[in-house]
Structure 1
Amino acid sequence: MDLATIIGILLGIGAIIVTILLGSGLGLFIDIPSIMIVFGGTLAATFVAYPLKEVLGIIKVTMRLFIFKIEKPEDIIANLVEISNKARKGGLLSIESDIKNASDPYLAKALQMTVDGVKTGDIAAIMQSKMALAKKNLKSGSDLYASMGSFAPAFGMVGTLIGLVQMLANLDDPSSIGPKMAVAMITTFYGAILANLFFIPMSGKLKIRCDEEISNMNIIYEGVISIREGEHPRLMEDKLSVYLGPNHTPSEE
């Protein structure tokens, strides 16, 4: 579970509620027509901009923001080094047990092709294709939330304009100008909150998730190709350690 996402949302909502309560009641900031135009308009624009399948998949994408588990790069490298050592000593067939124990389907498929004697070029092509597809699927969720982050403020302004038109149409009643102006501004408030507390930050978090997963897939890709080519495990570890940053020092044998 990603506590940072949960903490951030709760802190944001809490700060807004406390600020409102210090100056007025929450009821002043609740307006059903404003909610309808901002939420409904944002959702409608998203349906227009994206295929139905991607929009309906927003629930699955959103779950990745809160429930997300990814293997540490150093653990992946350590596992690949262990497999490489085993393959170097006992041959490629000796790593069949590692295929069954692999929790990552991408790694399992790559190792299976290696054991089956598939040519290095073919393994590389298949793995790169799978990586490109995974990146596309991960990126689509981030792009969708980024678009919603631009739609929400726009429909907030639409709601404000509707409110202003309705207010100007009733200037003969001065006592209603204040309340109508307040309602007109609430839609802008809703749009800003949705965009800047939810949609845009969620898009950014999904981009980070995408980068992490693709980085891990790159480690597996390069590691399996090294194993297939029979490279020395130490050389492979040195090559893969670049994914751990400049402060990492490969282990000594």
Structure 2
Amino acid sequence: MSLDKMSFAGLVMAVVAVLGGSILKGSGLGALWSSAAFVIVFVGTFAAVFIQTPFPTFRRAVVILRWVFSPPALAPVETMGRIVEWSNIARKSGLLGLEAEVESQSDPFVRKGLQMLVDGAEPATIRSVLEVELNTREHTEQQAAKVYEGLGIYAPTLGILGAVLGLMAVMQNLSDPDKLGHGIATAFVATIYGIGSANLIFLPIAAKLKGTVNAQSRHREMLIEGLVAIALGENPRNIESRLQGFLEI
């Protein structure tokens, strides 16, 4: 895992934008708090997501949240170097020469692919088996990332609902000036909570997680191509040239 400084910077800037903006506008920090708006927007938003999301998917979404600030470390250049090294070993000592490499791999996906090579599986079989696992993982992680996308979609709507409820309270108490300010504040704060949380937290998190999942899938695709090429007995130089296409420009 590696720390993502951009995410940390973005979070700090989001907080400064909202809190600093409130202070500069003369509203103060206290104007941003409303327990009624908080309950309406955040409890309502999570309630909607709970209804639409299976528990395993929500649990996975909670697990991968850490990827926003500490994404899985991917080193495509190093991976390409390892694949070329494996192809050299296979050419010199045969596929059985890779047996020692299997147990040294910490990634179960890599270990599975190497084991299939050692076992003499057909190239088409290696590709088929690994692509099924790749697609399953990608689908699972993308569904988990969409949980935050759902939060970002529902939050503004619940903000509008909070605003309407606040205005209803105002209309019901037009004869009591003491209650007007509280109702109007709840209306505006609910809108801030909904729009702010969606655009500064939930939707950026969803986009960041989707990007991380895509990067992992791309990395695994490179592994699949490399392992299949080794199984086909291709020249290490040709393998390296092919895998260059997976590297970021």
User: Which range, TM-score by smaller chain?
Assistant: over 0.9
Q: Which residue of 1 aligns with 2:52?
A: 49
Gaps of 5+ in 2: none
SS in 2 for 1:68: coil
Q: CA-to-partner distance for each residue in 1:50-69, whole Å, 9 max, x for gaps?
A: 11222233320211212223
Task: Assess if the C-alpha contact under 8 Å between 1:138 and 1:210 holds in 2.
Answer: yes
SS in 1 for 2:71: coil
CA distance in 1, matches of 2:247, 2:124: 26
CA distance in 2, matches of 1:112, 1:58: 31
Letter in structure 1 aligned against 2:154: F
Q: Which residue of 2 aligns with 1:78?
A: 81
Q: Which residue of 2 aligns with 1:62?
A: 65
CA distance in 2, matches of 1:159, 1:180: 10
Task: Assess if the C-alpha contact under 8 Å between 2:162 and 2:186 holds in 1.
Answer: no
Q: Which residue of 1 aligns with 2:20?
A: 18
Residue 155 in structure 1 maps to residue 158 in structure 2? yes
Q: Which residue of 1 aligns with 2:8?
A: 6
CA distance in 1, matches of 2:56, 2:213: 19
Residue 185 in structure 1 maps to residue 188 in structure 2? yes
Residue 122 in structure 1 maps to residue 125 in structure 2? yes
What's the CA shift for 1:178?
3.9
Q: Which residue of 1 aligns with 2:38?
A: 35
Matches within 5 A, 1:92-111: 92-111=95-114
Task: Assess if the C-alpha contact under 8 Å between 1:70 and 1:213 holds in 2.
Answer: no
SS in 2 for 1:101: coil
What's the CA shift for 1:173?
2.8
Q: Which residue of 2 aligns with 1:210?
A: 213
What's the CA shift for 1:12?
0.8
Q: Which moved more, 1:132-141 or 1:21-30?
A: 21-30
Count of matched residue pairs: 246
CA distance in 2, matches of 1:136, 1:191: 28
The percent identity for this pair of structures is: 32
Gaps of 5+ in 1: 248-253
Q: Which residue of 1 aligns with 2:137?
A: 134
Letter in structure 1 aligned against 2:192: F
Report the TM-score when normalising by structure 1.
0.93
CA distance in 2, matches of 1:243, 1:163: 53
What's the CA shift for 1:95?
1.2
Q: CA RMSD for the aligned pairs?
A: 1.4
Task: Assess if the C-alpha contact under 8 Å between 1:99 and 1:112 holds in 2.
Answer: yes
Q: CA-to-partner distance for each residue in 1:46-105, whole Å, 9 max, x for gaps?
A: 011111222233320211212223221111111100110111111111111211222321
Task: Assess if the C-alpha contact under 8 Å between 2:61 and 2:145 holds in 1.
Answer: no
CA distance in 2, matches of 1:193, 1:75: 40
What's the CA shift for 1:174?
4.3
Q: Which residue of 2 aligns with 1:251?
A: none
CA distance in 2, matches of 1:130, 1:175: 62
Choose the corresponding residue for 1:169, options 161, 167, 172. 172
Runs of 4+ in 1 over 4 A off after TM superposition: none
Q: Which residue of 1 aligns with 2:243?
A: 240
Task: Assess if the C-alpha contact under 8 Å between 1:37 and 1:155 holds in 2.
Answer: yes
What's the CA shift for 1:208?
0.9
CA distance in 2, matches of 1:78, 1:133: 27
What's the CA shift for 1:45?
0.2
CA distance in 1, matches of 2:146, 2:18: 27
